[in-house]
Amino acid sequence: MLVFQANKTLNGTHAMQAPFFKRSAYPNHGHSTHWLVSLMLSAAFLALPSISYANEETTKEPPLLTSLYGHVGAQFSIDDRVDSQGGINQINGVDDWGAAFNIGALFSQPFEEPLSLYVEGTYLNPGDRHFTILGAGARYDWIEEQSAITPYASLGLGYLSMRWDDEPVSGFTAEAKSGSSGVVTGQAGLLWSLTESWGLDLRARYDVYDVTSTIVQANQVSQIEDRSALSLLVGVAYHFGQEKPDRDDDRDGVMNSVDQCPNTLLYVPVNEVGCPQPLFSIDLSFEFAKFQVTNLIDRPDFPVVRFLEKNPQYHVHITGHTDSTGPEEINQRLSEQRAQEAKNFLDERGIDPARITTDGKGQSEPIAGNENKFGRKRNRRISVEFYIPETQSGE
């Protein structure tokens, strides 16, 4: 508890403070910010063996110190309120908004991934008061190998020292201008890996504590209660002894470290180094007795036009097919119409007609039985074959 006493007389007598207020005085903690410097020096000292340990090729164990981080941001003091018992009329307004700073370290022990131990120092300054928090706790990271962004959450305990910059009431002197409290801290954030070692760290934290400033004048008492603070922070994190996880950014099934053709379109078949296969095909089904592209039952997930625009070395051969329903001559003509309609579709979207060939096979090349509707649906189709001319065999 922090205690302020009037230094003037009231009705000819000095204002007296109740004995229990005198017992609540705490020593001055105005220099507690030195603990933040000590924390960083200690973390840097621990980093030295961690760096050399991480560089040993013979071990796969993570270093003890896995990360250092720092943040700046804004804080808002919540539940700052005045409880009057008789009340002091001339209490100054209490500041709510202010700056926030945070530095800390992550350790691989005593937990196992994705849990880690954190130790950190935080400074909150809502204008007229200074809060210094030293804390530690457990942090959980939701690690996804294919993602550069890692969400995390943490919960910890700590020690808070608070000091007034200015007295909350003019003409009062401080018997105890500083106080302390235990702290419970919850945090949540997103870590965005920019390089193998550096990341952008965005987080929100909520600190819960209990510090009360009591103002006494004769039999008049007012209390300013600090209970919690919400902070929004942005900063950077540096990782020791960790390789940036390999990812598959274009989702073609080939990791970035091997992929020689980055940014391949989705659903394009690729070879072992992530480049489009020189020859591949897709099948699309039609409604019964229909041939226009708008009558396709299965819309293609494959981006045909975009692929041909992006890869001008590819040509396309479109083959129309039917089921066995109806006369063979009509089916042959229908299959040719289906292929020609698909060619017209590509032509209208700017694909060079010289890159497109068509033919029709009628009912002669079924891929399923024609005894039921499911087989007939599969046979009513066009086959779209993509190829690089010098690698195509047997056109």
Average pLDDT, the chain: 76
pLDDT for the residue 349: 85
% the chain with pLDDT above 90:
29
The mean-pLDDT minimum among 25-34, 40-49, 277-286, 354-363 falls in 25-34
pLDDT score for 262: 87
Q: Is 332 helix (H, G, I), strand (E, B) or coil?
A: helix
Does the structure show a pLDDT above 60 at 34? no
- Please give the pLDDT value at position 267: 79
Q: Contact, 50 vs 67, CB < 8 A? A: no
Length of the chain: 395
CATH, domain 2-239, list 3.40.50.11900, 2.40.160.20, 3.40.50.720, 3.30.360.10: 2.40.160.20
Enter the DSSP assignment of 93.
P
What's the token pair of residue 254?
């080939």
d(CA 371, CA 356): 33
The pLDDT tens digits of the residues spanning 287-310 come to 544 444 444 444 555 678 888 889
Tokens representing 306 are 């975009």
Q: What is the DSSP letter of 195?
A: S
Cα dihedral across residues 19, 164, 81, 210: positive or negative: negative
- Whether the CA torsion 194, 250, 356, 393 is positive or negative: it is positive
- C-alpha torsion angle, residues 205, 206, 207, 213 (rounded to 10): 120
Residue with tokens 């926030």: 100
Give the C-alpha separation, 60 to 282, whole Å: 44
Give the pLDDT band of residue 394 (cuts 50, 70, 90): very low
CA distance linking residue 302 with residue 130, whole number of Å: 60
What is the token pair recorded at 167?
């007295």
- Per-domain boundaries in the chain: 2-239, 279-391
Pair 79, 228: CB distance under 8 Å:
yes
Question: What confidence score (pLDDT) does residue 174 get?
Answer: 56
CA distance 161 to 28: 9
pLDDT on residue 85: 57
Residue listed under structure tokens 């992929």: 259
Q: What is the mean pLDDT of residues 148-177?
A: 79
Instruction: Output the pLDDT for position 190.
Output: 94
Angle at 255 between CA 252 and CA 259, to 5 degrees: 80
Tell me the β-bridge partners of 116.
Answer: 139
Name the residue among 213, 133, 128, 131 with its Cα closest to residue 175.
Answer: 213
59 vs 159, higher pLDDT = 159
Instruction: Place 229 in a pLDDT band, splitting at 50, 70 and 90.
Output: very high
Mean per-residue pLDDT, 258-264: 87
- Least confident stretch, 37-46, 122-131, 334-343: 37-46
Q: Which residues of 307-343 are buried (b: 16+ CB within 10 A; e: fewer)?
A: bbeebeebbbbbbbbbbbeeeeeebbbbbbbbbbbbb
Q: Which residues sit opposite 6 in a β-bridge?
A: 172
Between CA 38 and CA 187 the distance in angstroms is: 23
Query: Quick one: pLDDT at residue 56?
Result: 41
Angle CA(67)–CA(70)–CA(74) in degrees, nearest 5? 145
At 163, is the pLDDT very low, low, confident or very high (cuts 50, 70, 90)?
Answer: confident
Q: Has residue 217 got a pLDDT over 80?
A: no
Segment 40-65 mean pLDDT: 50
State the pLDDT at residue 290.
44
Tokens linked to 95: 């500041």
pLDDT of residue 77: 86
pLDDT of residue 302: 67
Query: Which CATH number among 3.40.50.620, 3.40.50.300, 3.30.930.10, 3.30.1330.60 corresponds to the domain 279-391?
Result: 3.30.1330.60
* pLDDT for position 86: 56
Choice among 169-178, 222-231, 336-345 with the minimum mean pLDDT: 169-178
Residue 139's CB: how many other CB atoms inside 10 A?
Answer: 21
Distance CA 4, CA 8 (A): 12
